[in-house]
Amino acid sequence: MSSFLTRLLRGSEPSLEELREACAQSERRRNEKQLALEKLLLRRDDIIERMKKARSRRDDLKVDILWNELLALRPELAMVRRELRTANLEYLTLKRYTAGMEALAARGDRQGTKKLLGRLRRSRLPELLARADIEEERYLEELDLVMAEDGSFEEEAAGEDPRKEAFLQKLDGVRQAEEAGDLAEAKRREAALKQELDDGIL
């Protein structure tokens, strides 16, 4: 949770100017997270394209290298998605609250502004945002286990990986549709493949 939103929910009442500035900063932060996600998705798509080419050449070593790159990208993608979701919720909260306060201030309704702030602070918003923080902590704990120094991750990666086999089968399905000239079907299969990656199925 941002420091300003923490203050809004628990501290002193901010002025309208402070609210407007915080709203603008929150929007910039949300846009930065969106851009970061788009860059990561471009990296993921590039890896998939290179895997298709390596698979066509039967270059198993290159496929293995790219598969590991794809696995390494997944934690970062998950983290940025979570950060974007939190940033978006914070921005929407500040935007709607600021608009409400501006409308009340324009009418000179001081009691209304106090009531709106009170409703915000009595709501479950702090609890829900705290839950998002807890999920992030759990994610980091899971990442610590994956990257443990005892080498368990490397040993597991060296053996057969059923997720990799399932991924490669679906990737071959994309390639087959492309080679058959059915670009619409290839696009559909690739979109489904990427969705399964995003959902953690593969």
| pTM of this structure | 0.72
Give the confidence band of 153 by pLDDT, cuts at 50, 70, 90.
very low
Helix axes 16-56, 60-106, angle to 10 degrees: 160
Taking the domains of the chain in order of start, what are their residue ranges?
A: 3-150, 160-202
* pLDDT tens digits, one per residue of 72-124: 898 899 889 888 988 888 888 888 888 888 888 898 888 888 888 888 887 77
Distances (CA, A) of 122 to 5, 128, 144, 192: 14, 12, 36, 42
